[in-house]
Structure 1
């Protein structure tokens, strides 16, 4: 007997397997470990970390400037006076403190 009128069970199984594999790959491409959503999260994290790096580089440059101004090669007396007052809590007799 020949069943030429309808597809066989093996054809349905083959179609279902191909369909499921396609769904799996689409899901992985969108939401998998290396998918589109994860890529957007990584890009957002990268931008946030880059902003933090920029802020830290500005802070390092400021600290390097202050360190250079207090070094043996170049001594800024005003900065030294300010630092001594901050650390020691000292003030001159002709100054007033406003809180």
Structure 2
């Protein structure tokens, strides 16, 4: 009888401590590693920085296109820009343009070779 009481007096609080420790560690692990935990905040910060750099690059590209469009529209049209754009779209060259013909790759077989 006395042994059971002492054993129960030792094991019952020990079991409660183990159970509460397991529950606490479960909630602590999820507070750190879950989708809304502390590690998720660091991942979100990295994603925000990455997306911010992409936004900055796209903003620079947009400003460059706006500058080019402003040169082609409005009251004062930049003739060089208009000429360059027209030649690029039509596939034409000017009589003063220098044309450079490049040799085909030595690795690639000639296009007009017949066996």
What TM-score comes out, normalization by structure 2 length? Answer: 0.73
Asked whether the equivalents of residues 68 and 74 of structure 1 are also in contact (C-alpha less than 8 Å), the reply is: no
Decide whether aligned partners of structure 1 residues 5 and 14 sit closer, same or farther in structure 2, where only a CA change above 3 A counts: closer
**d(CA) in 2 for partners of 1:88, 1:51:** 36
Q: Which residue of 2 aligns with 1:85?
A: 87
Q: Which residue of 2 aligns with 1:37?
A: 39
Considering only CA atoms, is the larger Rg found in Structure 1 or Structure 2? 2
**d(CA) in 2 for partners of 1:68, 1:86:** 18
State which drifts further: 52-61 or 82-91.
Answer: 82-91
Q: Which residue of 1 aligns with 2:30?
A: 28
Indicate the RMSD between aligned Cα atoms, in angstroms: 2.1
Q: Which sections of structure 1, spanning at least 5 residues, go unmatched?
A: none
Q: Which residue of 2 aligns with 1:50?
A: 52
**d(CA) in 2 for partners of 1:96, 1:4:** 103
Q: Which sections of structure 2, spanning at least 5 residues, go unmatched?
A: 102-115
Q: Which residue of 2 aligns with 1:61?
A: 63
State which drifts further: 3-12 or 77-86.
Answer: 3-12
Over 4 Å off, 4+ runs: none
CA drift of 1:11 comes to 2.5
Q: Which residue of 1 aligns with 2:100?
A: 98
State which drifts further: 25-34 or 78-87.
Answer: 25-34
Partner SS, residue 96 of structure 2 = coil
Task: Pick one of 4, 7, 10 that aligns with 2:9.
Answer: 7
